[in-house]
Amino acid sequence: MTYNSSNTVSKHEPKVKKTTRLSPSVRATKQLLGKFFLSYHPDGAVLWQGRILSQPKPGLFLVQLYEWFLGEPSDQILVPIAQMQGWSFYPDVEGWHYATRLKTGAVPLLDPHVSVPSKSKEQPK
């Protein structure tokens, strides 16, 4: 029972808005969507470079891999979250490219899904 503004007893309980609380592991996996990554061989060498596209079911992610030479999309594969332990994740393409240069010495091309303004060249008169 609750009391209303005139101090009389109300038979109706106040309505409580229900909220859904996500467990830390669910929040963490949702935060991976759209992130860029580098994965590693057991010896520490970089293995894959890519981006997390979706989570088709809990604990399983669809990732887009990119070629090393041209930076073009290559395969899309499903990867269990347990296999991602030790991967490095980056929120944007710039951070991902910077890390790639530091770890491999390679200069990756831009992600083909990121638009880059082109520099217009002046035509000679």
pLDDT-derived band at 44, boundaries 50, 70, 90: confident
The answer to whether residue 18 sits within a structural domain is no
The answer to whether residue 48 sits within a structural domain is yes
pLDDT value, residue 8: 57
Give the predicted TM-score (pTM) of the model: 0.62
Q: Tell which residue, 35, 77, 29, has the closest CA to residue 55.
A: 29
Give me 36's structure tokens. Answer: 């860029």
| CATH assignment at residue 67 | 2.30.30
Domain with 80, as residue range(s), is: 24-104
Judged against a pLDDT cut of 50, whether residue 94 lies above it is answered with yes
